[in-house]
Chains A and B, each alone.
Chain A
Amino acid sequence: MAEEKNSKQRHHRSMLLDSMYPVVALMLVLVACVELCDAATVVDVYRLIQYDISGVPFGSRFSSLNHHAASLSFQHGADLSRSVLILPLRELDIAFVQDYISQKQSLGGLLILLPQTFRPGYIGGGETQDGLRVLLAQLEKLLLHSNIPFPVYFAFENEETDAMLADVKKNDALGQQATATTGGYKLVISVSEPRKIASPTITNIQGWLPGSRADGDSNQLPTIAVVASYDTFGAAPALSVGSDSNGSGVVALLEVARLFSTLYSNPKTRGRYNLLFALTSGGPYNYEGTQKWLKSLDQRMRESIDYAICLNSVGSWDNELLVHVSKPPENAYIKQIFEGFSNVAEDLGFQVSLKHKKINISNSRVAWEHEQFSRLRVTAATVSELLTPPELLESAGSLSDTRQHVNEDSIIKGVKLVAESLARHIYGHQGKDIQIFADNSSLAVNRFYVKSWLDSLSQTPRVAPFLSKNEPLIMALKKELEDYTAEVSIQQESLDGIFTFYDSTKASLNIYQVASVTFDLLLLLVLGSYLIMLFSFLVITTRGLDDLISIFRRPPSRKIKIA
C-alpha cells in the first residue's frame, strides 16, 4: 500500500515537473524577447531613391534613423543635426529645403508628410489642388538631383502623425526639449545600411501576332510594331506608380492588342501584316531596354518592320495629341503615317500635330522611344500628350502622377486613334470613311478593361531595378499578351551603363514618446527617499527610535572610552 502511494506520489511529482517545462520554456522565451513592438505608433515610410550616375552620387545616402522629432517652428540657430525635421507638404517652403541642402547643413533626417490623396490606391474624393502637385513636382526635382547626406523619407498623413506634429510644434515654439510624457518624440527606423543592387535586370515582353499570307506568296510579311515602356522612376521608388507615365501607354497597348487579336482570330479578317507588341523596360534610362530588345531581334525581322508606334503618356490630354518623329516630316513614310493619324483624328473629333526632333548621334540622351528605332534605321513615331521631350529621369512616374489625374476617356481616344489608323493601313482603307472599331460594336474599345488595368497599374510601383525576375507584374503582363498573341517571349537583360541603384526603399517608422534623463533621475530620487522613509518608519514602529539613531551613529571610539 505504502509503495503504491509512493509511486503515485513520484508519478504526480514527475507530472508536475513535466508541466513546469513549458512554463520554464515560456519564461526563457520572454527573457530572450529583447525587442517587442512597444512603439505607440508605427507608420509606413518610403525612402528617397539613392542612385549614382557614372559614380556621381544622388539622392539620400542613408537609411537608418534614430533621432528626436523637430518641426519647422524650431528656434533660430537650434542645432538640428540630431533631429529629424518633419515637413508636411502643405507647409513646405522649397527655398528653405534648397538652402538646407545646398549649404550642406547637417540634419538628422527629413520626413515629408504627403496628403492622403497622393497615396496609390486612394479611392476617396477630393481633388488635390494643382498648387500642391506643382510643389511636389518641384520638390521631387530638387531631391532627385541633389546628393543628400541624411535619410529622407516620405509618409502619408494620418491622425497619429498629425497629433504628433501638433505636439512637436507646440513644444518647439516654447523652446522646450523633450520632457516627461509631454512632447518628446523619438523617431526610429531600424534598417540595415543600403547596398548596391548587384545586377538589376530589365525585362522586355514581346508578343507576336502573325498575319495571313496569301497563297503562293513566299515573301516575308511586313510587320508593324506597337511599343510601350512599362517601368517608372520617381523620387520614392516604392510609390512610383506612374499612372500617366507610362501606365496609360501600357493600358493602351494592351487594349490595341486585344482588339487586333479579336480581328486576327478569324482567318477571314486576318490582315497581311504581322503585328509585334512589345512592353519594354528601362524607359527612364535612355530607353536602354528598347535598344537591347531591338538588337536582340532577328535582322530579317527587324528589316521587315514597316514602322513602329511608341506610346508614351496618353492619359491626360483633351484636344490635341502629338506625334513625335525623328525623320524629317517630308519623308514619305512619315507623311503616310501622319496622314493616317490625322484622318482618323478628324473623324473622332480631336487634333494631332507632328513634331520633329532631330537625333544628335553624339549625344547619348535618348528623349523618345522612337529614337532607338531610328538609330537602327527603323521608321518610328511616338504618340504622346507631352509637348516637349522629357529630361533625363523626368516625367517617368513621379509622386504627383496619381490615378486621379488620368482620364480613361483620353486613353480610349488614343486607343481608337492608333487602332483605327493601323487597321486602315493594314486593310487598305486609307482615307475611307469607315469605322472599324466603332462604339457598340463587337470590336468596340472596352472601357472596363481600360479602367481595371489602369487601376491595377496605378497601385503597382514599377521601378525596374527593384523588380525581381519573376515579379507578379511581369508575369501578369506576359499572361495578358499570351491571351492575345500567338507567341510571347521574355527577354531579360541586365541594366548596365551609367546607372547604379541602392536598395532599401520601404521601411517602418516607429514613433516613441520618450521621457528625458532628468525625469528618470528625479524618479530615482523620489523612490530613494520613499524607501529610506519606509525603512525609518518601520524601524521606529517595530524597534523604537533609539534603534534608528543607533544605526546611524558610529560606535564610540575606544580611545575616548579609555581616556
Chain B
Amino acid sequence: MTLFHFFNCAILTFGPHAVYYSATPLSEYDTLGTSVKAAVVYLATALVKLVCLATFLQVSETEVFDPYQEALKAMIGFIDVAGLYFALAQLTHRNISQNHKFQAVGLGWAFADSVLHRLAPLWVGARGLEFTWDYVLQGLEANANLVFTISLAALGSLMWLRKNKPKTLIPIIYTCAVIIATMPSITSYLRRVMGWHFPKVVGFELMTSLVMAFISCQLFILCQRPSL
C-alpha cells in the first residue's frame, strides 16, 4: 500500500513533464536531445551552486532569517540563470524553431530539477507506513516549478535570442525574469519569517506560477509580432 502512495506521488511529480513532452509539438519535432542536454547543464549548474554555497555560506543552527545570508543565496541563485543562458544560447541545437527551443530547454531543466531534488526524498519517505501530505505537496511544488522554469526559459530566450524587441517591453521582461529567478528566496522568506506552513507556500507558488506563465506568454506573443 505504501508503494502505491509512492507511485501516486511519483506520477504527480514526474508525470506532467512526460505529458508536456507528448502533448505539445515537441514530440513531433523530436526535441529529446535538447532536453537531455539541458538536463546535463542543470546538473553541472547544481554542482557549481553547491560548491559556492559550501564555500561562502555559514550554516546557522536555528531557522533564523538572516538577510545577508539570504542575499548571498539569491546571488548564488543567479548561477541558475547563467546556466540557463548557457543552455539556451551557447549549446548548438538542431534546427528547431525558437518557440520549441525554449520549451525543450525548460522541460529538460525542470525535469532534472525534480529528479535531483525530489526523487530521493520520495523514494526514502513515501514508502514508509506513516502517511503525511508532504509528498503530495512536494509533487504540486514540482508542477509549479515546471511552469516557472518554462516561463523563465521563455523570458530568457526573449532576452538573449531575439534581437529586435519593442523598447517598452524590455524592462518588463527583465523584471519578470528577476522575479522568477529569485522565487526560491521568496519562498524561504515566506516560510521562515512569515511562518507560512508548507501547504500555504505551495498554494502561493502554484498561483504565482500561473500568473507568471500568463505574463510571459503574453510577452512572447507581443514580441513575436514585429518579426512576423
Contacts and interface: CB of A to CB of B under 8 A. Distances in A.
B68 interface: no
Interface string A25-38: 00100110110101
A40 interface: yes
Interface stretch (B21-29, B34-42, B157-165): B21-29
A408 B12 CA distance: 66
Interface string A170-199: 000000000011000010100000000000
Interface in B13-60: 15-16, 19-20, 22-25
A35 B8 CA distance: 20
B199 interface: no
Interface stretch (A377-385, A487-495, A514-522): A514-522
A30 B120 contact: yes
B125 interface: yes
Interface string A518-529: 001001100100
Dominant secondary structure at the B interface: helix
Nearest to A533: B19
Given A520-B4, A523-B136, A543 B25 contact: yes
A30 B124 contact: yes
B9 to A, nearest CB: 9
Given A538-B23, A542-B24, A38 B12 contact: no
Contacts of A30: 120, 123-124
B124 A36 contact: yes
B15 A531 contact: yes
B63 interface: no
A38 B129 contact: yes
B130 A538 contact: no
Interface in B116-172: 120, 123-125, 127-131, 133, 136
A31 B123 contact: yes
A543 B11 CA distance: 24
A510 B128 CA distance: 12
Nearest to A532: B19
B131 A538 contact: no
A543 B20 CA distance: 12
Contacts of A537: 23
A188 B12 CA distance: 29
Select the residue from A181, A188, A514, A536 with max chain B CB neighbours within 10 A.
Answer: A514
A513 interface: yes
B1 interface: yes
Given A515-B5, A527-B11, A531-B11, A181 B131 contact: yes
A188 B15 contact: no
Given A542-B23, A542-B24, A512 B133 contact: no
A91 to B, nearest CB: 27
Interface residues of A, number: 33
A520 B19 contact: no
Contacts of B127: 34
Nearest to B129: A512
Contacts of B133: 181
B123 A180 contact: no
Contacts of A39: 128-130
A535 interface: yes
A514 B4 CA distance: 13
A534 interface: yes
B118 to A, nearest CB: 13
B5 A513 contact: no
Contacts of A97: none
Given A534-B16, A538-B23, A38 B8 contact: no
B128 A38 contact: yes
A180 B131 contact: yes
Interface of B: 1, 4-5, 7-8, 11-12, 15-16, 19-20, 22-25, 120, 123-125, 127-131, 133, 136
Interface of A: 27, 30-31, 33-34, 36, 38-40, 180-181, 186, 188, 510, 512-515, 517, 520, 523-524, 527, 530-531, 534-539, 542-543
Given A30-B120, A34-B127, A36-B128, 14 more contacts: A30-B123, A30-B124, A36-B125, A38-B128, A512-B129, A514-B1, A515-B131, A517-B4, A520-B5, A527-B12, A534-B20, A537-B23, A538-B20, A539-B24
* In the complex, the 4 A-B pairs of residues with the closest C-beta atoms, listed nearest first: A538-B23, A38-B128, A515-B131, A512-B129
5 contacts: A36-B128, A523-B8, A524-B4, A531-B19, A539-B24
